[in-house]
Structure 1
Amino acid sequence: MMVNREIVIDLANYQKGLTASDYKKIGAKYAIVKTTEDTNYVNSEANLLINRSAAGGVKGFAFYHFARFHNDAKAISEAKYFISKTKGIVNLQKGALMILDAEISNMPTSSVIAFLKEIKKAGYKAGFYTYKYLLPNFNLKKIKPYMDFFWLAAYPLANGKAADKSPDFNYFPSADYVDLWQYTDNLLGYHVDGSISVTKNAIKLFNPSDAKSNKTPAKKSKSEWVKKNGTFTLGQSLEIHKSPHIESDSIAKLKKGDTIKFDATLQGPKRLWLRQPRSGGKYGYIVGKDKYGKLLGKLK
């Protein structure tokens, strides 16, 4: 049976600069939007991403949660947080597709199942996302009965290299149950992740655009990124993180006396984050002030 291939983009706050015109040029009809992470982060740009992409031609949405659990109890609490906070952002219909983003180490299969069961118990379709290189960490056959949708990432091209909308299926990841293949992190040079549908199931689960954004936008965090160029010389050894969360994965470890350039700051109640531009349009994040407001180096 022939499958009508569709391009699907996924959106986090990194894509908040995309315009409706950009989305029209990308030409995707479906999007997966990050709404939550752990039990302490809600994407304050989710309304903007949904509304702007809808204005640019996206007609169906799904939603994902970046997970940080390592046990069943934490998995259940993260699933409940995901559901509750996403309801505050969109008119979440029963049967909407809600996806677990599993890309950290030491995540048990039992906890993945606990998360997916919580999603299904609430009346939604449960999706599972991971990278091909992480598949050995999971028992996919055990997960399969609890997932309605499987989204797998494997990039034929180097990270950051622009890809078009026709991936080479000679590089398709050899794994079971795949509905959607994420094949690039830089679709058409827009620095947006691009996926392609593999089954009809991949598209039929997407929330229709008439249920997109609540009329009352989700309340924005008081903390917002401010564009500011400068340098930071470390007063102690620190890590550069993949996202501005103290428990997020480390990109690099720097020693006292090292200096980095930053292009934006995020000031919380006490903690200050600095954003470091990296190759391929990516960013790293380092703490400039700790949770007590103590400066951890020299800012210029």
Structure 2
Amino acid sequence: MAMYTVDVYSGSSDSIIRDPHADGVIVKATQGTGYVNPRCNHQWDLAGSLGKKRGLYHYAGGGNPVAEAQFFISNIKNYVGKGILILDWESYENSAWGNTNWARQFVDEVHRLTGVWPLIYVQESALWQVANCANSCGAWVAKYASMTWGSWTLPGMNVSSGAFKFLTGWQFTGGDMDRSIFYLDAASWDKLANPEGTKTPDLPAAKPNPAPTPIKPAPSATNWVDSLGDRWVEEHGTFTTNQRINLRWGARVSSSLIGTLPAGAVVKYDAYSRHGDYVWLRQPRSNGQFGYLVCRNAYTDEPYGSFK
């Protein structure tokens, strides 16, 4: 027996949830300790109204894993026991990527709070990073035949489960929508969501950590548009990173890398720009050159450090 699912986030169309091929819907709930999906309740309720099995996932930000687990559970505690819980372990915006102990600490805290072992979503090539969770958690592995595989037909390919005894789920597309197959029937899904010993977490409702006031231009600030069409605002200050951040020769994630700054690095900057997914800082360097780094998420304003 198998079930097909979709997973959604704040930018997903309701039509993905309504897709008749999907037996289940997995909803992004939180990220880090500063973001809550504003459409989580709506997406959860819509899936339930359509009779679909449900799940909730937390996207790892790479901060304190215990704090992230508490933030996740605090925000979805009324749904514990009603849907499967999942840790989304990816490299993007995850400062702990490569840390083989982070996921273990996260899932242990979720289990302590709820009695539920979450599944772990991870790309096949990174299964080694979460191998020490294999004795407790199931694996939901991402591996695509291509990014244009817009079909519910499974591609003919092998997928490793790494240290896990078997695959619980396989995400086989990531283009027009994320399609997955879970090797579960409805009763098995419910058992993962609500195993014996599940408990209601005794945690206060959480709110995103307050962020420093977003950088905004002063009325008299000098500003300009660069050759890429991005507007910059002159502002002189100091930024201290709270995680690893790439320093680049341009204000694009595709720009050449100068190096990777560790947590605690201090950067003097002279301008900022909000474009794409981030707020960028410009670092003056020798010989009239500049380095560029991200300082916060442009959508949630979650900072990646502190400002002076």
State the TM bucket, normalised to the shorter chain: 0.5 to 0.7
The separation in 1 between residues aligned to 2:119 and 2:33, in whole angstroms, is 19
Could you tell me which runs of 5 or more consecutive residues in structure 2 were left unpaired when the two chains were aligned: 195-205, 209-227, 234-242, 247-251, 258-271, 282-294, 299-308
The separation in 1 between residues aligned to 2:20 and 2:274, in whole angstroms, is 31
Q: Secondary structure at the residue paired with 2:101?
A: helix
> After superposition, what is the alpha-carbon deviation per residue over 1:21-51, rounded to whole angstroms, capped at 9, x for unaligned?
x544443121111100001111111122223
Tell me, yes or no, if structure 1 residue 113 matches structure 2 residue 104. Answer: yes
Deviation at 1:59, TM superposition (A): 2.0
Contact preservation (8 Å) 2:85, 2:193: no
Of the three residues 192, 195, 203, the one matched with 2:189 is 203
Of the three residues 60, 63, 68, the one matched with 2:56 is 63
Could you tell me which runs of 5 or more consecutive residues in structure 1 were left unpaired when the two chains were aligned: 209-217, 221-230, 237-245, 256-270, 276-284, 294-300
Of the three residues 109, 127, 136, the one matched with 1:146 is 136
> After superposition, what is the alpha-carbon deviation per residue over 1:41-70, rounded to whole angstroms, capped at 9, x for unaligned?
111111222233334x35211111111226
The separation in 1 between residues aligned to 2:280 and 2:134, in whole angstroms, is 43
> After superposition, what is the alpha-carbon deviation per residue over 1:142-162, rounded to whole angstroms, capped at 9, x for unaligned?
211231x21110111x22x14
Of the three residues 158, 173, 177, the one matched with 1:184 is 173
* Percent of aligned pairs with the same amino acid: 20
Contact preservation (8 Å) 2:17, 2:25: no
The separation in 1 between residues aligned to 2:113 and 2:171, in whole angstroms, is 27
Give 1:1-300 correspondences, 5 Å limit. 4-15=1-12, 17-19=13-15, 23-55=17-49, 57-69=50-62, 74-87=64-77, 91-94=78-81, 96-104=83-91, 106-123=97-114, 124-138=116-130, 140=131, 142-147=132-137, 149-156=138-145, 158-159=146-147, 161-173=148-160, 175=162, 176=164, 177-186=166-175, 191-200=176-185, 203-205=189-191, 232-233=229-230, 235=232, 251-253=253-255, 273-275=274-276, 285-287=277-279
Q: How many residues align?
A: 219
Please identify which structure carries the higher helix content. 1
Larger radius of gyration between Structure 1 and Structure 2: 2
- Cα 1:11–1:205 shift into 2, 3 Å: farther
Paired residue type of 1:99: I
- Cα 1:232–1:155 shift into 2, 3 Å: same
TM-score normalised per structure 1: 0.61
